[in-house]
Structure 1
Amino acid sequence: MAFKVIKPGLLALVQDLGRHGHQSIGLTTGGPMDEVAFRWGNALLDNDPNSAQIEITFGMFTLEAQANTSIAVTGADLGATLNDKSIPPWQTYAIKKGDILAFHQPVWGLRAYLAVKGGFLCEPTLGSVATVMREKIGGLTSKGDKLKKGDSLSYHTSHDHQQRAVPRLAIPNYGNKEIPVILGYQYQSFSSLERANFFSSDYTVSSNSDRMGYRLEGKAVHTELKGIISEGIAYGAIQIPKDGQPIVLLRDRQTIGGYPKMGCVTRVGGGILAQQKPGDIIQFTPITVDQAEQERHLQMARLAQWR
């Protein structure tokens, strides 16, 4: 059976963990902007870690259930309601046929994740259902379309509901505005003053931010490099274009680029950044590769212990 889309909202996309192994032909990975929230959604329901979910940006998204199942809601608090009763995120909920599930406007954060028992059933393209609108690939139609009114999101009917919640210590601190950065090999091309400016300045999230990248506004950073030969772009790369305003490249990033890079935000840091709205203020803080690996291992260990 399925959820029927009553209101499509601003942007609701089918996502899994991403389309990997195809950047050599110009296809980006896609996947959830907040990977930690996504992984916990599937863990709460004992799903495969790669099971498809719905990423809901900003809210205004309403669904009607056509069969019984269990769901998990993680990520941002978008004022979700089940049959007009408020439901907080980071928990599971039993769904009955005819129930109305609605996401309204952000209380905090920007992106929520809706997981269903067994995952949403979509046909993969190149091994993934991840929706990348720019590349017109993935999603419900396999053509990169965002969800629209009347769409039917299929799932397996389930009557076995278990009430669960994510441990408080495992929930990301979205109020922490310090985004960890692993320094890149082009870091040395920035003077000590420019580096200090970058890590000591507040940056405002621009309204010109999306799944491809977050544009930031604040203290301009400059380098003696006028440009570099285009090279592969890693997740979280912080490009410094000619105007000196940083751009953090995220899930739908281009596969190559020619701007100097200060470094990369971590997966966990990228998830926190993706929950910031235009106008929110962040700072960057440098960490080592070892620290980033410890942070990653801690998150994955918590998930493994839960499972």
Structure 2
Amino acid sequence: MAFNVIKPGLLALLQDLGRHGHQSIGLTTGGPMDEMAFRWGNALLGNNSNCPQLEITFGMLTLEAQANTNIAITGADLGATLNDKEISPWRTYALKKGDVVAFHQPIWGLRAYLAVSGGFLCDPILGSVATVMREKVGGLTGKGDKLQRGDVLPYSACSHQPQKAVPRLAIPHYGQKEIPVILGYQYKSFSSLERANFFSSDYSVSSHSDRMGYRLEGKAIHSDLKGIISEGIAYGAIQVPKDGQPIVLLQDRQTIGGYPKIGCVSRVGGGILAQKQPGDVIQFTPITVDQAEQERHLHMARLAQWR
């Protein structure tokens, strides 16, 4: 019982919630770029929240089901079809043996998630199946490989379930321009003018962005610090290198870095950012730690209540 990979797409990766507890040896966490979309995919099917899913970037993926199952699609709208019939994200679908699911090109957003009842069956490496290509760990082969034509994605066959959909209020607005930022402890090394420039300027997503970090292009900002001793990097940290163009570090980030950091994107904000395509424009807005925690608690409480 499995999906046969007919077309592998540009970048399709097996992910769970990440490989935690190993950053001390230089191993990053990996995991879904849009955590809330991932969590809703498993919730729709009644899966454990950490069940492995496929993260599909941009699309161009085609799968053929070899046994009956149920799937959930969340995240971006990549023009998905079921047996050539258009289907929408943020809901479940029943599949029969021989059904073909395809993802084409983005209508809105960049990354979609495909969950299957019970999760994809894959052996974990260091407690996780999260695929990190740069570190050659996780995924179907355990070596960090992206999906390839001819791969077989195992799952457990199951009977069909009633269709379910995510409540409209819980679906993120991927078109929002504002990305919330928690101010970092090196924030004061940026002058008042540099801070004002950072929070009042538009930044466009660079084509050099990836799962490691989103490079931005716009008004350059500079810190009074000439350099810092390399230190641990948190999710969402906004590094400012010598050219003054911010880099938001995300799931596949390096574990240490030596550039000044003006702040840190919240988890919810990072999920919105991860759905931006090259050329999309964003603007940063400051929030407190309390506000970031309240926002996340609201999302998690809504998910738990729905479950």
TM-score range, shorter chain: over 0.9
Is contact 2:79-2:103 (8 Å) kept? yes
Give the structure 2 partner of residue 273 of structure 1.
273
Q: 3-state DSSP class of the match of 1:4?
A: strand
TM-score norm. by structure 1 comes to: 1.00
Distance in structure 2 (CA, Å) of the matches to 1:125 and 1:65? 26
Give the structure 1 partner of residue 193 of structure 2.
193
Q: Calculate the aligned-residue CA RMSD, in Å.
A: 0.4
Give the structure 2 partner of residue 70 of structure 1.
70
Distance in structure 2 (CA, Å) of the matches to 1:194 and 1:18? 35
Q: 3-state DSSP class of the match of 2:164?
A: coil
Q: 3-state DSSP class of the match of 1:269?
A: helix
- Give the counterpart letter for 2:62 in structure 1: T
Q: 3-state DSSP class of the match of 1:43?
A: helix
Distance in structure 1 (CA, Å) of the matches to 2:210 and 2:163? 34
1:125 is the counterpart of 2:132: no
Q: 3-state DSSP class of the match of 1:40?
A: helix
Is contact 2:68-2:160 (8 Å) kept? no
Give the structure 1 partner of residue 15 of structure 2.
15
Q: CA deviation at 1:161?
A: 1.3
Q: CA deviation at 1:19?
A: 0.1
Give the structure 1 partner of residue 212 of structure 2.
212
Distance in structure 1 (CA, Å) of the matches to 2:177 and 2:4? 36
- Give the counterpart letter for 1:152 in structure 2: V
Distance in structure 2 (CA, Å) of the matches to 1:83 and 1:305? 33
Distance in structure 2 (CA, Å) of the matches to 1:31 and 1:253? 11
Give the structure 2 partner of residue 3 of structure 1.
3
Q: How many residues align?
A: 307
Distance in structure 1 (CA, Å) of the matches to 2:3 and 2:162? 20
- Give the counterpart letter for 2:281 in structure 1: I
Give the structure 2 partner of residue 145 of structure 1.
145
Give the structure 2 partner of residue 203 of structure 1.
203
TM-score norm. by structure 2 comes to: 1.00
Distance in structure 1 (CA, Å) of the matches to 2:267 and 2:34? 8
Identical amino acids, percent of aligned pairs: 83
**1:268-307 alignment to 2 at 5 Å?**
268-307=268-307
| 1:241-274 Cα deviation digits (max 9, x unpaired) | 0000000000000000000001110111000000
| 1:259-290 Cα deviation digits (max 9, x unpaired) | 00011101110000000000000000000000
| 1:33-82 Cα deviation digits (max 9, x unpaired) | 00010000000000000000000000000000000000000000000000
Q: CA deviation at 1:160?
A: 3.2
Is contact 2:235-2:264 (8 Å) kept? yes
Give the structure 2 partner of residue 174 of structure 1.
174
- Give the counterpart letter for 1:6 in structure 2: I
Q: Which runs of 4+ in 1 moved over 2 A?
A: none
Gaps of 5+ in 1: none
Give the structure 2 partner of residue 262 of structure 1.
262
